[in-house]
Amino acid sequence: MEVLKIVNQIKSKRSFLCVGLDVDLEKIPKFLLDKDDPIFEFNKSIIDNTHMHCIAYKLNIAFYEAYGIKGWKALEKTINYINKNYTEIFTIADAKRGDIGNTSRMYAKSFFEQLNFDSITVNPYMGRDSVEPFLEYNDKNTIILALTSNEGSKDLQLISTANDYVFMDLIKSSKTWNNSKNLMYVIGATKTEYLEEIRKIIPDNFLLIPGIGAQGGDLKEVCEKAINHKVGIIINSSRGIIYSGNDEKFAQAAEKEAISLKKQMEEILIDSKLI
């Protein structure tokens, strides 16, 4: 999806919210377990009640792979449902793939051609040749893990190098890769102390930022340091939205939580003179 379409959607919906569809059968309302495809039924209800408040859906592939072929079928039905009914929505396959060139090429074919996602998350720490097969798709976006929120990020990403940190060197290197204009970057919301420096290196690329709320990230602080002239950020919320209710009105509860986040984002956009 072209960045301009994402920006237009942000301005139209007055939101830069991404809803993470990380479906755990142990957490969804029990009455859905009687359905033929409880994962898809859960997703469909969430999507129908939140699509007007968000600009993207992120499907964490692990939560579908865990249920074998049934999970993959639910994944396919979910992405097809979004692509058919809500064509403006930006879709993210949170797959964290990345391997030698031939393997990455097949991963790209799987998620971009067979499942028709707009983007995929990729682990770039094997280097350029593990990422560029994804970048061969001019109409798709590749979102590389740059600086993550987890405790273990210090084990590699935050190791000091001659000039910076490993993750900073990675971001600088990525700018030289083929079709790097289609790169987006995952930056954890709990790593705000690095955001201003990151923006100096990649002032124009979109950042996908997980970790708001339950994981400790502060929305206003993130926005103050990361928003650019095109907004340039997508804030993901998963559990805080999709599991905000656990009865027959779970989708309405999810909508209420999405609206709450959207209102905060709208205020930030107005204050930043972006809408």
Would the pLDDT of 10 be above 70?
A: yes
- At residue 1 the predicted structure's pLDDT band, cuts being 50, 70 and 90, is low
Distances in Å between the Cα of 272 and the Cα atoms of 50, 228, 263 are: 24, 9, 14
Please give the CATH topology (third level) of the domain spanning 3-271. TIM Barrel (3.20.20)
The percentage of the chain sitting over the pLDDT mark of 70, rounded to a whole number, equals 98
Q: What span, in angstroms and rounded, lies between the C-alpha atoms of 65 and 71?
A: 6
Q: What is the 3-state secondary structure (H, E, C) of 7-66?
A: HHHHHHHCCCEEEECCCCCCCCCHHHHHCCCHHHHHHHHHHHHHCCCCCEEEEECHHHHC
What DSSP string runs through 196-257? HHHHHH-SSS-EEE--BSTT-B-HHHHHHHH-BTTB-EEEEESHHHHTS--STTHHHHHHHH
Q: What is the dihedral of CA 197, 13, 249, 33, to 10 degrees?
A: -70
Would the pLDDT of 264 be above 90?
A: yes
What integer is the mean pLDDT of 69-79?
98
What integer is the mean pLDDT of 246-273?
96
Domain ranges in the chain are 3-271
- At residue 217 the predicted structure's pLDDT band, cuts being 50, 70 and 90, is confident
Task: Please confirm, yes or no, whether 96 is among the known catalytic residues.
Answer: yes
pLDDT of residue 158: 92
What integer is the mean pLDDT of 208-225?
83
Written as six digits, the tokens of 52 are 């007007």
The percentage of the chain sitting over the pLDDT mark of 90, rounded to a whole number, equals 89
Which residue out of 11, 77, 96, 256 is catalytically annotated?
A: 96
Rounded to the nearest integer, the mean pLDDT of the chain is 95
Classify 258 as helix, strand or coil.
helix
Would the pLDDT of 215 be above 80?
A: no
- At residue 211 the predicted structure's pLDDT band, cuts being 50, 70 and 90, is confident
pLDDT of residue 213: 64
Distances in Å between the Cα of 137 and the Cα atoms of 98, 118, 186, 189, 244 are: 15, 10, 19, 28, 36
pLDDT of residue 101: 87
pLDDT of residue 216: 64
pLDDT of residue 78: 98
What integer is the mean pLDDT of 52-65?
98
Neighbours of 204 (CB within 10 A): 11
What integer is the mean pLDDT of 129-151?
95
Would the pLDDT of 36 be above 80?
A: yes
Would the pLDDT of 247 be above 90?
A: yes
pLDDT of residue 28: 97
Higher pLDDT, 33 or 2: 33
